[in-house]
Every structure is written in structure tokens, then in C-alpha cells.
């Protein structure tokens, strides 16, 4: 585990393992670098893997939170650029799941594509909030009013509100596990109770304010898109929209997979990622 202190004083934890071309893993909202543990052991044979815990995320740490800037997506994109520069990475492949995809998009928007070799983006929409002209956000029905109610609920009971977001959408199996209060749900609830709500809320509000639709056509680096065919948040139209806006993007839909298709079918994802990086797929 390495610690990288960026220009505003924030210290980030970055797991560095393996040998070979650089691969940067960017987790989703309310997660941390541990979410990649089932993948890193397989990726480190061929790549040097860099997996961070984004500012404002993970369990509170004595050396973290020293930055003068809040954990918003633009600041995270600058953190990502700083991490790439710190380790002197030459055009790494960025793998962004959920929020991680938005951080990658924000970095491309703010810092250009010069430091990015390839992009693998997993189950994300370019705009979370919906309105009359945009139905491809969360659940297909996530208005500004609904988003404000969600933020209010986060402040009242952060852990349970996050669990409901994850569980009570399109995916019937996720809903069943929540209603059953399965061991997985219990473990996740306990983990979320150890998190600080306000940094996550600040981050969330920056994500719901973002709109990356205008950016997509400018992504001229190789892009691979991986979506869950049974995503809790997005229907097939979201995947098709993103693929149609990025010239040459390779789209893979994992039938039956929820919001984390890279974990639902790990071996398929690893094969696709290796082929994408080497140019064989």
C-alpha cells in the first residue's frame, strides 16, 4: 500500500501490485479499493495494478481528510491525474466502475486524453438525473426532487438508504436479497455504518450535477463498455446510447448481471479486458 499526497494536502491510499503495463482501477460511490480484490490477484500476473480509495471514501483514516478541497468529482479527477503523474505512468488503461467511470470522464474533460491509454467503463450513464428529455439516468426515473429526497434520507440513515438504492431498483434478485436480509446485505450494512455520511453526500451531489453527454464523442482513445443485462439502475437503452456516442467503442452486455458485471462473471470480464488491452478484442 502506497500513500500519495496531492497538492491540497489530501493523502490517498493506492494499492500497487504486479508487473507489466499499468492498469488503474477506479471504484464506485460508497466503495473503496477492496471492491477489486477478486480481480487484482488475476490481473497482477500481466499488469502493474494501481487501485485507489478515492477521497472521502473508505473507513476514516488518521492520515486522510487533510485536504483543503471537498470530495467532488472534479477534485477526484485532479487526484487521478496526480496519481498518474506521481507513479510516472505512461498512458495507463483506466478501469472505472460506476462513479469510477465518471471520474475517468471528468479527467478526460478537465485534463485531456494525453495521459490516458485506454478506457474500460462499467455500467454507467453519462447523466444520473432524469427529466422530460432524458430517461437514461438512475432507474429511468430519478428527478431532481427524488434526488433531494434521497440526500435527505442519507442524512437520516446513511447505511439503509444506500442499501435501498442498491437493492430496490430493476433487479429482482437484488430486491429479494434485501427483503430476505441476506448475509451479504447484513455485511454491507455493517460496512456502510462505518462510513462518514457527509463526504459521501458531498460527492454524490457533484455526481448528480454532472453531465458527460457532450464529452462522449470526443473520446478518441480505445474504449470498452461493459454493462449488466439486469442492471439495477440502467436498461439496455443506456448501454446502447453510450456506445452510439463513442466512435469505435466495443460494447459487451453481460446477460443476467447486475450493476457489477465484472464481478458477476469475473472470468469473462478478465478475458475481455486482457484482449482489449492487447488489442486482440
Q: Is residue 95 part of a domain?
A: yes
pLDDT band at 281 (very low <50, low <70, confident <90, very high): low
* Region class of 88: left (phi > 0), else alpha (psi between -120 and 50), else beta: left
CA 39 to chain centre: 15
The average confidence (pLDDT) of the chain is: 96
- Per the structure, how many domains does the chain have? 1
C-alpha span between 281 and 266 (Å, rounded): 17
pLDDT at 61: 60
Q: Is residue 57 part of a domain?
A: yes
CATH number at residue 233: 3.40.50.1820
Q: Which residue, 74, 58, 73, is CA-closest to 11?
A: 58
Cell numbers found for residue 87 = 507513479
168 secondary structure, DSSP code: S
C-alpha span between 261 and 252 (Å, rounded): 10
pLDDT at 46: 92
**Number of C-beta neighbours around residue 250 at 10 A:** 16
Q: Is residue 74 part of a domain?
A: yes
C-alpha span between 134 and 208 (Å, rounded): 13
CA 2 to chain centre: 21
User: Is it the case that residue 238 has pLDDT exceeding 60?
Assistant: yes
pLDDT band at 59 (very low <50, low <70, confident <90, very high): confident
**Average pLDDT rounded to a whole number, residues 259-273:** 97
Q: Are strands 11-18 and 48-53 parallel, antiparallel or unpaired?
A: antiparallel
C-alpha gyration radius of the chain: 18
pLDDT, greater one: 4 or 66: 4
Q: Is residue 37 part of a domain?
A: yes
**Average pLDDT rounded to a whole number, residues 126-137:** 98
Q: Is residue 254 part of a domain?
A: yes
Q: Which domain holds residue 28?
A: 2-127+211-278
pLDDT digits (tens, 9 = 90+) for 62-114: 555 578 899 999 999 999 999 999 999 999 999 999 999 999 999 999 999 99
pLDDT band at 181 (very low <50, low <70, confident <90, very high): very high
Above pLDDT 90, what percent of the chain? 95
Q: Is residue 186 part of a domain?
A: no
Q: Is residue 143 part of a domain?
A: no
Q: Is residue 255 part of a domain?
A: yes
Amino acid at each position: 500500500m502506497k500513500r500519495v499526497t496531492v497538492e491540497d494536502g489530501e493523502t490517498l491510499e493506492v494499492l500497487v501490485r504486479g508487473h507489466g503495463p499499468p492498469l488503474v482501477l477506479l471504484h464506485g460511490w460508497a466503495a473503496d479499493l477492496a471492491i477489486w480484490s477478486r480481480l487484482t490477484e488475476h490481473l497482477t500476473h500481466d499488469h502493474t495494478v494501481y487501485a485507489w480509495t478515492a477521497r472521502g471514501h473508505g473507513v476514516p483514516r488518521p492520515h486522510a481528510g487533510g485536504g483543503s478541497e471537498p470530495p467532488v468529482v472534479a477534485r477526484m479527477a485532479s487526484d487521478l491525474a496526480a496519481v498518474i503523474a506521481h507513479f510516472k505512468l505512461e498512458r495507463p488503461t483506466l478501469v472505472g466502475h460506476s462513479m469510477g467511470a465518471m471520474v475517468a470522464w471528468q479527467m478526460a474533460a478537465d485534463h485531456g486524453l494525453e495521459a490516458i491509454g485506454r478506457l474500460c467503463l462499467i455500467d454507467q450513464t453519462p447523466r444520473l438525473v432524469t427529466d422530460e428529455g432524458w430517461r437514461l439516468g438512475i432507474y429511468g426515473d430519478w428527478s431532481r426532487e427524488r434526488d433531494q429526497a434521497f440526500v435527505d434520507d442519507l442524512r437520516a440513515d446513511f447505511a439503509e438508504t444506500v442499501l435501498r438504492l442498491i437493492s430496490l431498483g430493476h433487479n429482482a434478485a437484488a430486491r429479494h436479497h434485501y427483503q430476505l436480509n441476506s448475509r451479504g446485505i447484513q455485511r454491507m450494512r455493517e460496512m456502510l455504518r462505518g462510513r462518514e455520511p457527509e463526504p459521501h453526500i458531498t460527492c454524490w451531489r457533484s455526481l448528480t450535477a454532472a453531465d458527460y453527454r457532450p464529452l462522449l464523442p470526443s473520446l478518441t482513445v480505445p474504449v470498452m463498455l461493459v454493462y449488466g443485462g439486469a442492471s439495477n439502475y440502467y436498461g439496455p437503452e443506456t448501454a446502447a446510447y453510450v456506445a452510439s456516442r463513442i466512435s469505435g467503442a466495443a460494447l459487451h452486455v453481460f446477460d443476467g448481471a447486475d450493476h457489477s458485471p465484472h464481478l458477476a462473471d469475473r472470468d469473462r470480464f478478465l478475458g475481455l479486458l486482457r484482449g482489449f488491452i492487447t488489442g486482440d478484442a
